[in-house]
């Protein structure tokens, strides 16, 4: 039973970066507060992280279990998902849970499998070392060709603490990549983790 639960967390952690909701936007975690640039603020009640986003981006519905939300830039076929997840999978950290490298490797496998089931071949770029709100992180980048959307590129940026992790998924047509990513870089300057994701969490089951 415990093995099944752990496997479920592996899949859910990765899917949190990939899940897209298409329902109409009705979300209560966002506030009307703005920063100096006039951007809106999204704060996640479950994991505590927050990020500012442009006021012309549409706020989508929350992801299942309150792990995050999807933002829609005013560019057709693009989206930005911000989410958190638990690190409860057995791995090689001193606490016995996943390392950042192990999480990235699992991310590669699960994403590749998900797209292969849709008969879509991914072209992976080299992983990049990144920092997310001061925590060591990774940026995974891949492209693919969609019959309806043409060439698409995705950037998956995430960090992983001893108990929790944070992630941002960017999906955009290749032709608009720099336009969206320049905004993402500014957004990341406003990103706050909310709490120390290395701290002991009451949500992590005892070993």
CATH of domain 2-188: 3.40.1000.10
pLDDT over 70, % of the chain: 76
Longest dimension (CA), the chain: 50
Judge contact between 181 and 84, C-beta under 8 A. Answer: no
Judge contact between 90 and 9, C-beta under 8 A. Answer: no
Per-residue pLDDT band at 5 (split at 50, 70, 90): very low
Among the ranges given (37-41, 157-161, 192-196), the one the predictor scored with the smallest mean pLDDT: 192-196
C-alpha 57/C-alpha 10 separation (Å) is 30
Alpha helices in the chain (DSSP H): 2-15, 100-116, 177-188
Question: Is the overall model pTM greater than 0.85, yes or no?
Answer: no
Digit-coded pLDDT (tens) for 6-55: 444 444 455 555 544 333 333 334 444 445 468 999 999 999 999 999 99
Range 49-69 average pLDDT = 94
On the CB side of 104, CA atoms within 13 Å amount to 21
Range 63-85 average pLDDT = 94
> In 3-state terms, what secondary structure has residue 120?
coil
CA 55 to chain CA centroid, nearest Å: 20
Digit-coded pLDDT (tens) for 137-152: 999 999 999 877 699 9
Domains of the chain, by residue range, sit at: 2-188
For the beta carbon of residue 190, count every other beta carbon within 10 angstroms. 15
- Selection from 164, 55, 57, 167 nearest residue 107 by Cα: 167
Range 199-205 average pLDDT = 50
């Amino acid at each position: 039973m415990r093995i099944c639960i752990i496997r479920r967390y592996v899949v859910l952690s990765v899917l949190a970066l990939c899940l897209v909701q298409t329902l109409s936007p009705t979300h209560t975690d966002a506030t009307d507060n703005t920063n100096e640039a006039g951007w809106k603020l999204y704060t996640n009640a479950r994991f505590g992280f927050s990020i500012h986003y442009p006021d012309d981006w549409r706020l989508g519905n929350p992801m299942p279990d309150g792990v995050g939300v999807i933002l829609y830039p005013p560019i057709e076929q693009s989206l930005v998902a911000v989410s958190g997840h638990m690190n409860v999978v057995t791995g090689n950290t001193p606490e016995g849970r996943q390392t950042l490298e192990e999480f990235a490797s699992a991310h590669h496998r699960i994403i590749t499998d998900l797209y292969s089931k849709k008969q879509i071949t991914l072209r992976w770029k080299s992983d990049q070392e990144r920092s997310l709100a001061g925590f060591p992180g990774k940026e995974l980048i891949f492209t693919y060709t969609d019959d309806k959307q043409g060439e698409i590129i995705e950037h998956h940026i995430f960090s992983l603490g001893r108990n929790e992790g944070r992630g941002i998924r960017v999906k955009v047509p290749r032709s608009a990549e720099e336009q969206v990513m320049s905004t993402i870089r500014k957004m990341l300057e406003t990103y706050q983790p909310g709490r120390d994701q290395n701290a002991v969490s009451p949500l992590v089951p005892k070993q």
